[in-house]
Structure 1
Amino acid sequence: MVFLRAVLIFCLSAAASAASSLQPPAGFMQPPEHLRHETVTCPAAPPPFTGALDFRSKYDGSDNARATLNPQTEAAFRQQTQTISDMERFVSHQITAYARSGNPHYVACAVNALDAWASAGALTGDARNHTGKSVRKWALATFSSTWLQLQFSPQHPLAPYPAQQQNITRWLGKLGDLTVTDWRDLPLKKVNNHSYWAAWALMSTAVATQREDLFAASLAIYRTAMQQIDEHGFLPNELRRRQRALSYHNYAIQPLVMIALFARANGIDLRTENHDALQRLGKRIIDALDNPSAFAQRSGETQDVAFLQYPTNLAWLEAWCQLYTCDAPLLARIDTLRPLQNTRLGGSLSYLLAGKE
């Protein structure tokens, strides 16, 4: 079965390459596991968010490290962005369900919801602060990285929806243009994990919209990130998060690994940038999962490792093991955490990249 799946994915990759100038990794364009057509009741989708992107930060009142959560403003942030986060989960769930079942009813649910948001111009409002810009690119990363799975599915599930597909693709491109504007021309001291997540949103949107300019914008941010990684595998701007330095290094690498994986699918090997900087960063983080002393020493603070309680924060390891050879202990760790999924990275990376449930 493993051999047959590998042959199928190779064939799909070759076919997609011939059809499109930009493509995702092969796992993102595999056929559904099953083909079922039982009627599915589509739940009500969240209404389009058309207001200004003006949200409280969960770190309001913190010092320059921006590492101390403010419970009051975090609650306000969750409440203000609830509709957007609900939509991210809604779309991801529908498209993941289609990948498992092949049931076209899930496709209809996703298409109708995204089409409504596209027609309303959702998330295109004025981003009045850093948090608003962040929410826009996070949502875009979710929508594009899941949507392209329908676009590249060999079952052609979007064939019945040509007008909606065009509308949604146009909207994703608009959000991509806004994301470029939101995160361009920052001084290096402010280029951090947020810029990297913007770059991932641009990469997945570039593939979804066949926009070479967005692809190039993503690569430019990625290459800046690689130049920021020092000889020991640290990101200075993430070390400033003090007790959360390891947590934010882990957060920063997630989009970078996905960008490298998508770039490789398009014939560009980014792993060699700045003398294998991505590998230095990943090794530094992986070593610290069991022993964060190096981060404590460099940041001057005992590390808060609460993020390890949530496997979604380690979903990037599935992509990592596609780029690099993972040793037996790391593979065993990943296996105990599966299925590893992260809505903003495309859903279940265990399924998409490793064929694991």
Structure 2
Amino acid sequence: MVPCKAVLMFLLSFVLSVAAHAADSLHPPSGFMQPPAHRVDAAKTVNCPAVPTPFTGTLDFRSKYEGSDSARATLNPQAEAAFRDQTQNITAMESLVSKQVIAWARSGDPRYVACVVNTLSAWANAGALTGAAANHTGKSLRKWALASFSSAWLQLVFSPAHPLAAYAAQQETVTRWLSQLATLTASEWRDLPLDKVNNHSYWAAWALMSTAVVTQRQDLFDSSLAIYRTAMQQVDAQGFLPNELRRRQRAFSYHNYAIQPLVMIALFARANGVDVTAENNQALQRLGAKIIASLDDPAPYAQQTGVTQDRAFLQHTTNLAWLEAWCQLQRCDTALNQRITALRPLQNTRMGGDMTHLFAAKHDGHD
């Protein structure tokens, strides 16, 4: 049977994509290199949202846990409100970029690409987020934003549709800026004392990994894996992270938060020929299995901390979007697959956006 024209065109675009990236030493998992859907509706109005004002000042923000004890688990409503106000342009920018890339992936409409290019170029040309970080929260905002921008941008960079072909100058500008942010992020999160290496370091490592692929910087890839391996050594025999257990009533929540970037790093490492899942006797599997087993009853974390666990984070599906990626690393049983299916589509801005789009096809056995 002769393949249809659409199949032939897809195969041709895939071959061209492989050729285009043949010289690249680093690449993302296959889900990040999918062609977009072809549902362009020329009659549809696509209005690019206004670009949030680039944040060019000192990264000096209040912590939402300001005034809390050493557990850093009690929210300060006034400080949280101030934090949200201070960082609204940054988080709005993260959301805008992610949503536009998702819209492009679902439609193939090049107008969404133009939105992303213009938006990120504006921040790159302004040197946004490259100022000094005055405190821990400032450093945190930089690496979170970097994770959002790079994990979205690389989908355009590696698409077989070559959506950035008409934007060579802007692509160079954005890539240079992301590289600059990554250099700052790497310097801020390396060589920390072990008692300070926690979920923040893991998210910094994920930002470095996604940017390593965008910029083809092996040093960032290596720095990311170094933090990942430190994280794996922190996982104890029972699957707990001692530094996250300190968060008392939020220990379960922070274990769930900590694993998200680690799963992404492991997937990106595997895509580049490095299998890190065996580290510390399969520590990542222990960590994930403990979290998943506790989704309906976090008693293990209550027993470890001596306090009832706050499960409010489970009300937001973005906090479980990592499960789509997890099922690429581990064989997921029927019960977990059913839980994931019921939650779809799962999205998380800082891990690449539409996680169901990026991983579900392969997860469901269609790739």
Aligned residues: 352
Residue 97 of structure 1: aligned partner: 103
Q: Which residue number corresponds to residue 301 of structure 1?
A: 307
Aligned-pair CA distance for 1:13 = 8.5
One-letter amino acid of the structure 1 residue matched with residue 37 of structure 2:
E
> What is residue 226 of structure 2 aligned with on the other side?
220
Where structure 2 has 5 or more consecutive residues not aligned to the other structure, the ranges are 1-6
Give CA-to-partner distance per residue, 1:193-216, whole Å, 9 cap, x none: 000000000000000111100000
1:102-135, Cα deviation, whole Å (9 max, x unpaired) = 1111000100110010011000001000000000
The ranges of structure 1 where at least 4 consecutive aligned residues each deviate by more than 6 angstroms after the TM superposition are 7-13
Taking the aligned partners of 2:36 and 2:314, their CA distance within structure 1 comes to 31
Residues 240 and 13 from structure 1, CA distance in 2 versus in 1: closer, same or farther, beyond 3 angstroms?
Answer: farther
Residues 218-238 of structure 1 show CA distances to partners (whole Å, capped at 9, x for unaligned) of 000000000000000000000
TM-score by length of 2: 0.93
Of 279, 291, 296, the match for 1:285: 291
Matched, 1:114 2:114: no
Q: How does 1:18-29 map to 2 (within 5 A)?
A: 18-29=22-33
Distance 1:108 1:130 in 2: 34
Rate the CA distance shift 1:239–1:184 in 2: closer, same or farther, 3 A: same
Report the CA distance shift for 1:250/1:69 in structure 2 as closer, same or farther (over 3 A).
same
Q: Does residue 341 of structure 2 align to residue 347 of structure 1? A: no
The aligned amino acid for 2:47 is T
Counterpart CA distance in 2 for 1:351 and 1:339 is: 8
Alignment-derived partner of residue 63 in structure 2: 57
Would the aligned equivalents of 1:10 and 1:26 in 2 still touch at CA under 8 Å? no
Q: Which residue of 1 aligns with 2:3?
A: none
Other structure's SS at 1:173 match: helix
Q: Is the 8 A contact 2:151 2:351 kept in 1?
A: yes
Q: Once the 2 structures are TM-superposed, how far is the Cα of residue 18 of structure 1 from its aligned partner? A: 2.5
Unaligned runs of 5+ residues in structure 1 are none
CA–CA distance in structure 2, aligned partners of residues 183 and 323 of structure 1? 26
Q: Alignment RMSD, CA only?
A: 1.8
2:35 partner letter: P
CA positional deviation for 1:335: 0.5
One-letter amino acid of the structure 2 residue matched with residue 64 of structure 1: S
**Shift in Å, 1:11:** 6.7
Q: What is the Cα deviation at residue 290 of structure 1?
A: 1.1
Is the counterpart of residue 326 in structure 1 residue 332 in structure 2? yes
Quote the Cα distance in structure 2 between the aligned partners of 1:116 and 1:125.
16
Conserved 8 A contact 2:202-2:258: yes
Matched with 2:241 is 235
Note if contact 1:193-1:248 (Cα within 8 Å) is conserved in structure 2.
Answer: yes
Equivalent residue, structure 1, for 2:250: 244
- Paired residues of 2:14 and 2:160 also in contact (CA < 8 A): no
